[in-house]
Structure 1
Amino acid sequence: MTADHVHPIFARIYPRLDAAAARAGGAAHRDELLAGARGRVLELGAGHGANFAHYPAEVTEVVAIEPEPGLRARAVAAAAATAVPVAVRAGVAEDLDLDDASFDVAVASLVLCSVGDPVRALSELRRVLRPGGELRYYEHVRAVTPGAVRFQKYTDVFWPYLAAGCHVSRPTGEWIARSGFTVRSERRFAFPDSRLNPASPHLIGVAVRD
């Protein structure tokens, strides 16, 4: 399985979109996601490194996996300017070249929407976490109301072609709860708070490997 998923247009546009989202509240969400993290951390789908500056000092190392080469290059540059040690690697979520039970924390941040097989990716995250290790997740997910879910499913006919494989209607929270994790805390919210944005429903949570 190749470690590179090449999306050059998305790789150029996404950092700008993320910067706007950070100013609108996304930076605070990343702080919430990572507050209290400690030890050795695996970050899945690190993108251009938007999370790196939000890791607390108690984190001893971050191994950041990113399959898109343009975003990965930006992540390498971001890692060089970050206080916490960060090693950026190529890789894919469904086949992590990492040892079993070798991480204290795994981070999935706006990535499970776009991996080819999210259930397998969660299985891999569980494998590399030590028993009792934490999965911290910040994802846009399937809506709650039937009308909003229908809107998302219609959107998913074309959305993945525009957004590097991203799907807006995935029940990611349900998958996490069924993948060998116990959900310790979870918050559902809209970001942005707009019914016209199919990616608005979000979750931030912490789950523990059983």
Structure 2
Amino acid sequence: MGQSHPVFARVYARARPQLDAQGMAEHRKRLLDGLRGRVLEVGAGDGGNFAYYPAGVTSVVAVEPEPYLRVKAGSAAYAAHVPVEVVNATADSLPLTDAEVDGVVTSLVLCSVPDQAVALAEIFRVLRPGGELRFYEHVAAAPGTGLDRFQRFADATVWSWFSGGCHVHRDTAAAITAAGFTITDLDRFTFGPNPASPHILGRAARPQSAT
């Protein structure tokens, strides 16, 4: 079940606090603001979000398949202000029952799942009708731009190999909509170095009438 990327995991864990200091921490706060109830975090990494969960969250199940990052996340869970359980699982097979959680958080992870449609179908399954998906992801650049072409080249060659399965040219907002969610808030902005600089941050609801 684990997905070991030992070099990338260590590079990420070292770089993440620096990125937080450069502005990512504010993005995390925006991502999690107002969440309530039982929450699932998919791809928790080293637990960088844990410190920002608001008091209205009663518990967090944090899924992380990478062994090194999962250990780091376990340590971060002890310092969290809300109860956090870190588990070994993947986005395409979430260890929860149907409609079990009130909210789901994805943070720089939908770029790395093998199949976005499968992962989002699982997220849709475990989220209760009316529940909310909070997403913060880097995404494909505007079509026809130089960065768009560079991202396509990167994904077709070595980028995914040395970046823990990451893909920089994914239209994640379209994938969220295609999975049955209704996007209610979406902010697009540039952050960090190319080719992963275009970002989105937003909210999407599982419709009340979904079956």
Give the alignment's TM-score, normalised by structure 2: 0.95
AA at the equivalent of 2:45: G
Q: Which residue of 2 aligns with 1:26?
A: 24
Q: Which residue of 1 aligns with 2:171?
A: 171
Shift of 1:101: 0.2
Q: Which residue of 2 aligns with 1:149?
A: 148
Q: Which residue of 2 aligns with 1:13?
A: 11
Alignment of 1:96-111 (within 5 A): 96-111=94-109
AA at the equivalent of 2:74: V
Q: SS of the residue aligned with 1:146?
A: coil
**Alignment deviations for residues 73-94 of structure 1 (CA, whole Å, 9 cap, x no partner):** 0000000111100000000101
Q: SS of the residue aligned with 1:165?
A: coil
Q: Which residue of 2 aligns with 1:86?
A: 84
Q: Which residue of 2 aligns with 1:41?
A: 39
AA at the equivalent of 2:201: I
AA at the equivalent of 1:60: T
Matched residues in 2 for 1:82 and 1:35: separation?
15
- After superposition, the CA RMSD in angstroms is 0.8
1:180 correspondence with 2:180: yes
Aligned structure 1 segments of 4 or more residues deviating by more than 3 angstroms: none
Shift of 1:145: 3.7
Matched residues in 2 for 1:199 and 1:83: separation?
31
Matched residues in 2 for 1:15 and 1:189: separation?
23
Q: Which residue of 2 aligns with 1:206?
A: 203
Matched residues in 2 for 1:29 and 1:77: separation?
22
Shift of 1:150: 1.0
Shift of 1:144: 1.1
Length, aligned pairs only: 205
Q: Which residue of 2 aligns with 1:69?
A: 67
AA at the equivalent of 1:149: D
Matched residues in 2 for 1:11 and 1:175: separation?
26
Q: SS of the residue aligned with 1:60?
A: strand
Q: Which residue of 1 aligns with 2:158?
A: 158
AA at the equivalent of 2:203: V
Shift of 1:52: 0.1
AA at the equivalent of 2:111: C
Shift of 1:13: 1.1
Q: SS of the residue aligned with 2:11?
A: helix
Give the alignment's TM-score, normalised by structure 1: 0.96
Matched residues in 1 for 2:75 and 2:142: separation?
39
AA at the equivalent of 2:54: P
